[in-house]
A and B are shown apart, each in its own frame.
Chain A
Amino acid sequence: MLPFVGRRALTAIPTLFIVTLMVFAIQRSLPGDPALILAGEQRDPEVIAFIRQRYRLDDPIPVQYVAWLGQLARGDLGRSLRTNERVLDLIAAKLPVTVELAVLSMLVAVAIALPVGVLAAVKRGTAVDYGGTALALTGISVPNFWLGIMLILLVSVRLGWLPASGYVPLSEGVWENLKRMIMPAFVLGTGLAAVLMRQLRSSMLGVLRQDFVRTARAKGLRGAVVVVRHAARNALIPVVTILGLQLGALLSGAVLTEQVFTIPGFGKLVVDAVFNRDYAVVQGVVLITATGYILINLLVDVAYAVLDPRIGAR
């Protein structure tokens, strides 16, 4: 198992390296001179020169890249070109908001996908199955930012039940926080629910055909016990992997959801940074998300090898 973990970790290193190269390349090809943009209206040559020197904008590109890698190694993601705040601090301030949104929407997704996916498999070929399949297809096809807008229209504008936008930190009241997070979490959760539902249905169908399920039934166990305790448990294993892989999709969705509901999270940070041409912030956000994704999927694989010895032996 250890060699497997080692090999798996080794493949992550070149990937991470390529990621840094790509992030750097993308940012350096942004249109416009960052020094001029940062200097704003005043265009004072001295200010511009100071900025150029401070951000090493006059050095050759490879030198800039190596200097940047060195900073990264020291955990320094640089400072925002706009506010001069440390990028790491900015991200650290916004990340909890997006993490809360992501966790809530995962809960929503699992709450929808688990019963529907299991039922669809158990009642294969019936109206329940077709209903579930149609629901999943709808969830995959609906653009979540439009779903958000429509929900605001219905729930906030027409019915007046929930606030349409904004964010209140958890520390200032759980209910006030949840009131503003329910809709975004639902919007973000539906797309994920659809993917999970499909996956759960097909893995349930596979498990239900297996001998141990037949044995459990033959022992005279009630149908529900067999489904929940024997089949669903095993069917959930591949679903967990999908959760790891869907993390990227969830973050993409969060960018749009935060935009629709004006939630000051990670997604809003990156969109604002792009429009402000704030290189350092975009670089930091993209780098952190990609690294996080690689590390989490590494952990998922390793956890797999721990849980299932057959994988490690491969």
Chain B
Amino acid sequence: MTVGALPATGSGAGEAPARGPLGRPLRRLLRRPPAVIGALVVAVFVAVAALAPWLAPFDPARPDFLAVRQPPSAEHPFGTDEIGRDVLSRTLYGARASLVAGVISVAIAVGVGVPLGLLSGYYRGALDELIMRLTDAVLSFPFLILAIALAAALGPSLTNAMIAIGIATTPTFVRLTRAQVLAVGAEDYVQAARALGASDARVIARHVFPNSFAPLLVQATLTIAQAVIAESALSFLGLGVQPPTPSWGGMLNTAKNFLVQAPWMAVFPGLSIFLTVLAFNLFGDGLRDALDPRDE
């Protein structure tokens, strides 16, 4: 089977930690400047999203027909849009939709995918076969086509875009968890636990899941990056966040009609998507290196 390549994540923190379970990886993470920068940028965007009402100089939804499509100035550092709304304020508020969508859709994917992967890998047999075929089926839809079809079926909204992205990214977590379970399940200490009469639930909760945690965390971080792009893509197509709520994708959708008259409308929302996604990718890559015990 080659459908859906698994990411080259580490095999989990199987070694004895030096000081607390997180001490070593954390120190290793802090030694990686790109990862630290990524984490900081993510933190800045989270702060922007949380504090948008206080940071934004204007009401993001209030039009000002006397100040339509104004280029960046001291009053409007990012300029104004086609109905005179402040692009800076809208960009700040736009962080909310992107981050909420990124985190919640991945939470859906993890919440559905990890239990399915655990079941599939632990019990094998017919259940495994069924779950794998379902996963293959979802994977065989191009990500965006599936998200478009779902968003269209459920109706265009941020909530439905998140559900669609969550479903489309679930297979990654099913497969990753399953692979981890298969690897960990063969270990001697798991066999020993079973031989001592530990219940399935106990083996899964005490041994299998904790040892699958590291690669799942890495994958979740990297998938947030994809989900942020996917949300903005759906909003760009008109299938995500609905106007007048500000979203980076939605802003770009409008901006592409005013490229000649108001290019600034397109620059800042796109730059924000790019920086957010880049930050999550940098952080995720750093996390992977820091959590991989083979790499010293």
Contacts and interface: CB of A to CB of B under 8 A. Distances in A.
Interface of A: 8, 11, 14-15, 18-19, 22-23, 26-27, 29-31, 137-138, 140-143, 145-146, 149-150, 152-153, 157, 164, 202, 241-242, 244-245, 247-249, 251-253, 255-256, 259-260, 270-271, 274-275, 277, 282, 285-286, 289-291, 293-294, 297, 300-301, 304
Contacts of A290: 137, 140-141
B274 A245 contact: no
Q: Determine chain B's interface SS by DSSP, over half rule.
A: helix
Nearest to B232: A143
Given A18-B133, A137-B281, A275-B238, A297 B148 contact: no
Q: Determine chain A's interface SS by DSSP, over half rule.
A: helix
B229 interface: yes
A150 B145 contact: no
Interface of B: 1-5, 8, 133-134, 136-146, 148-150, 152-155, 225, 229, 232-233, 236-239, 252, 255-256, 259-260, 263, 266-267, 269-270, 273-274, 277-278, 281-282, 285
Contact of A271 (B138, B141, B237, B270): B237
Contact of A145 (B137, B236, B239): B236
A288 to B, nearest CB: 10
Nearest to A27: B153
A280 to B, nearest CB: 13
A31 B156 CA distance: 10
The listed residue with most B CB atoms (<10 A of its CB), out of A15, A270, A282, A293, is A15
A300 B2 contact: yes
B259 A143 contact: no
A143 B140 contact: no
Contacts of B232: 143
Contacts of B3: 245, 294, 297
21 contacts: A18-B137, A27-B149, A140-B281, A141-B281, A143-B229, A145-B236, A149-B256, A153-B259, A245-B3, A245-B4, A251-B145, A252-B142, A256-B233, A259-B237, A282-B149, A286-B146, A289-B145, A294-B136, A294-B140, A297-B3, A301-B2
